[in-house]
Structure 1
């Protein structure tokens, strides 16, 4: 699976973590395939006990099976290792529940022209997605701190709809926590402290295609405390040192 620079091909991988999503994953995959037929799609089955695997395969996705449930962080780390192993130029996370609009995938990928990590932001002027109470306060507080670290205004650092270039894929293979919120806050903060750049693009979040979102005040307060702890842990971690040759190769690719 080698890249063909002669025709300027950029190899892209969609990574879809999935745990017991057989009710919705088939429709999500079919929609992605219809909108983005030229992009490879990998479903990382995170120890599902339902029919997620058979439904995903029937819908046309390649499936990577984990031996047991590792959470979103573990599933995404496996997906990024797959992307590195098979020499993809860029990768993008798309959720299995249908909330991420396939028509926004290319928009998020476009952000990689100016940064190593591109985030599809829910609170950036598009759509009607809203969060209130302690959860909203936590998001604004965390976004303000990380924006200062990144020297770039961010509004949605907990969005899972994000893309990574080669340097970011390498970063995530070396540091992508499995703890709660580690896949969003911790991984992003350590990437920024390791010298990677980040940007965001506005996207519109769609309603869940299955399941019911929780609006429990106790869970919102718990989210706030866990988010702050996750940020504190990320700030105490050592930055990742990247091979200078990899950074040089990234610079050459950006110039093409």
Structure 2
């Protein structure tokens, strides 16, 4: 049986998806922060946590899908996109469970999806930390150089300037959701980069909106300097593979319906 979806009267077509792994100390305040800022529904994909992440998320009013073991952000997000598609949502917002993504920027990201002055809106909007308000976000020089290389390659592919292609603060419209529900990468840690290549290859447009990151709201970060370096190495590899692999030419190429992580 699928969980009951508490439709929000504020933004009924928008679903916030939070992939969460051992975030019991931050998840509750993060959910309250999002729902008090905007009237949106929240789905927490508990990615095999061994703490009380799922319990705290439910106490905060979110719908929770608990995966049987840790699949990584890619697997958790594909679950979220499939849930959104099957429950009739038109827009999916990805927000980290640790509270670093400020929901006050959400209206600006959502606005970038909309057509204005006969100019079509984007299909995928990235909350960029290095594009104005977040330009002073501090990372190591090695990581910054690798991110610049990734951003330069994807900017050429997208036909627009992108500065933060590894950001997990994102908004996708129905067209992109249909692509990601079937093809969001779950194999390795390059999901943010590879997913953007998939979206572009499928004909989706991508843009960015400047955001500013906040300190973690609770808990202990799982990423160490070694893990950060490993992530960037895998992201570079993911980009190289994504550029040569074949992806769907048009959105909507869905896989047959199946049960994923307990969802219909």
TM-score (norm 1): 0.86
Equivalent position SS for 2:194 = helix
Q: Find the counterpart in structure 2 of residue 136 from structure 1.
A: 144
Shift of residue 228, structure 1, vs aligned partner: 1.6
Gap regions ≥5 residues in structure 1: 2-8, 247-256
Equivalent position SS for 2:69 = coil
List per-residue Cα deviations over 1:116-158 (Å, max 9, x = no partner).
Answer: 0000000001033122221111100010010000001000000
Shift of residue 195, structure 1, vs aligned partner: 1.0
Quick check: 1:171 aligned with 2:172? no
Shift of residue 183, structure 1, vs aligned partner: 2.0
Q: Find the counterpart in structure 1 of residue 215 from structure 2.
A: 207
**Aligned pairs, number:** 237
Q: Find the counterpart in structure 2 of residue 17 from structure 1.
A: 19
Q: Find the counterpart in structure 1 of residue 202 from structure 2.
A: 194
- Say if 2:12 and 2:40, in contact at 8 Å, map to a contact too: no
Please state which structure has a larger fraction of its residues in helix.
1
CA distance in 2, matches of 1:31, 1:149: 35
Equivalent position SS for 1:112 = coil
Q: Find the counterpart in structure 1 of residue 126 from structure 2.
A: 119
Quick check: 1:27 aligned with 2:29? yes
Q: Find the counterpart in structure 1 of residue 53 from structure 2.
A: 52
Equivalent position SS for 2:15 = strand
CA distance in 2, matches of 1:190, 1:211: 32
List per-residue Cα deviations over 1:153-210 (Å, max 9, x = no partner).
Answer: 0000000000110010011012111133332001111211121100000011011123
CA distance in 1, matches of 2:57, 2:251: 37
Gap regions ≥5 residues in structure 2: 5-10, 115-120, 255-264
CA distance in 1, matches of 2:233, 2:191: 16
Q: What is the CA RMSD across the aligned residues, in angstroms? A: 2.1
Change (3 A) 1:206 1:68: same
Shift of residue 21, structure 1, vs aligned partner: 0.6
CA distance in 2, matches of 1:70, 1:191: 21
Equivalent position SS for 1:103 = helix
Change (3 A) 1:244 1:167: closer
Shift of residue 213, structure 1, vs aligned partner: 7.2
CA distance in 2, matches of 1:47, 1:147: 34
Quick check: 1:91 aligned with 2:92? yes
Change (3 A) 1:191 1:244: closer
Equivalent position SS for 1:14 = strand
Q: Find the counterpart in structure 1 of residue 165 from structure 2.
A: 157
Q: Find the counterpart in structure 1 of residue 154 from structure 2.
A: 146
CA distance in 2, matches of 1:185, 1:54: 31
Change (3 A) 1:141 1:41: same
Q: Find the counterpart in structure 1 of residue 42 from structure 2.
A: 41
**Deviation >4 Å, runs of 4+:** 212-215, 218-221, 243-246
